[in-house]
Structure 1
Amino acid sequence: MRRLLLIAIALCLAASSCKASNNGQTVAKVNGETISANRLALALKFELSKYDPKVADDTKRVDALKKSLLDEMIKKRVLVKAAERSGVALTDSELSEFYTYYKSRYTEGTFQKMLEFKGINYDEWKAEKKREAIIEKFLEKELVSKIDVTDTEIKKYYKQHMKDFSKGDEVRARQILVAYPKLASELREKASSGENFASLAQEYSMAPEGKRGGDLGWFSRGIMPKAFDEACFPLPAGEISPVVKTEFGYHIFKVMERRGSHSVKLEDVKDKIVARIKQQKMEVMFDKWYDELEIDADIHINEDVLKNVTAPKEIK
């Protein structure tokens, strides 16, 4: 079953410092709009960074990843075109608000670092955000607005998923995320020497929460990436982790507080439950609805180009 294209899905691009080998080639066209082999190659590189390096040598898995990534790119373009045909459009005010909302999550310095880390320029970032905004508005109009969730459904879901709302040990932590290991080590040394961790995060971190001092809020095991849990949960409050490398970059964590297991009241998770139920209903509706949109779309995939798309190599 096709995976639901969630509202505001962000197609991850590769980090900077890479060489692409697919210049000038088109891997697909969707209603006349091209998808370049370069773009797919960069997305493939980022996706592969999440796996064991041996996966890159598994031709079948790499081919499956390429097709999955291309399918998501095609879906987004099909949805945007369908949105335009249905009369969904963004006002200048809506688009400006959308840009401002996402950009406000960064300081100017960390925003530029984020673009550099993902290997995109400002115009590419704006184009992607515009596409996401149109899709969000379209899905809201065609699907989300037509989904109702009753109090009975909410209570039933809560009772059936009590384990999900009984939290184990939690930590509240801050993080600093940077692209380079040397900078991460320097910042860790500064923080360990007594410099304000939140201020360092505001100045240097390229993560979205950097603007608020790197505050990740409270989280239990399994909510964040595994590397976050492994770095944070062994630490007592007030301690700073070693530098941690992930596919996102180089992290430094500081545990601010800890608390033991506890149950969460229904009223505290009602919005989350409503969102989950809506997503479940939306997934049921989405497949048939999207299939009808795809039938009307003009989609051409260059299988020869797709076959030869490879993830770009790092610059040494």
Structure 2
Amino acid sequence: MTKNFFTALAMTTAIAFTSVPAVAQETDLGTVVATVNGEEITLGHMLVLSAQLPQEYNQLPDDVLFDAVLDQLVRQAAIAQGLEGGLSTASELALENQRRTFMATETLNARVDAEITEEKIQAAYDADYASAEPEPQFNASHILVPTEEEALEVKALLDGGADFAETAKEKSTGPSGPSGGELGWFGKGMMVEPFEAAVLEMAAGDVSGPVQTQFGWHIIKVNETGTVPIPPLEQVRSEIEERLNQAFVESLIAEYSEAAEIVKPETAIDPAVIRDMELLEN
């Protein structure tokens, strides 16, 4: 929304306004950079808007960016002053809701920024990854056939010295058949339960007997076994931060809600009124 409005206003014709003289001066957030019909626009307004712009605007020269941001604020002010009769009741209520949401978000953000420290991120990483029990992973191939009888026949061929990959290409009805039945690497929870249970009991080089799943009958060969590599902290940092943030925010919501004095009317209100949008038109 900001980008579209910014672009649209940049294309409109200039509106006359009174600006401060083009002489370098000491500035702060309250420095007035323009007035529109007596309404002051400050450097603080400009900085807040500039911080919200898409990243590509940072590539503009300072003077171009300064003028563009100021022009947008000036035009916004001019347009806003043109509203006849003031805001509707619904719009005033919407502004109150937006302010409440903004204040709540700022409160939570300030608490989260102070709470989620590098030490806590590292501790969470150590607990969840560095100190965790290594998870096994497997590299396997399989031959899928419709019936147990066909699976027994395949197993007999393999026991007799037939090549697994060539047999898979010839006999398997699964999508991996043309590639010799190769399934690649997978960890726990990635295969259906009967298949996984069989693999967990096997060592590298083992070939299973018939294993039934909802897909049919499998003959499985475990090619290699290993453990899932532990990811470095930077790879999972955002995931950890998100989890810590979410948990802390939930605790803050409970904390503020429990501490607040909340009073609701004793007289019951018909819940159906939540859909009565005609009230907003009054």
Same-fold call, TM cutoff 0.5:
no
Larger radius of gyration: 2
Q: Which has the higher contact order (CA 8 A, sep 6+)?
A: 1
TM bucket (normalised to shorter chain) is 0.3 to 0.5
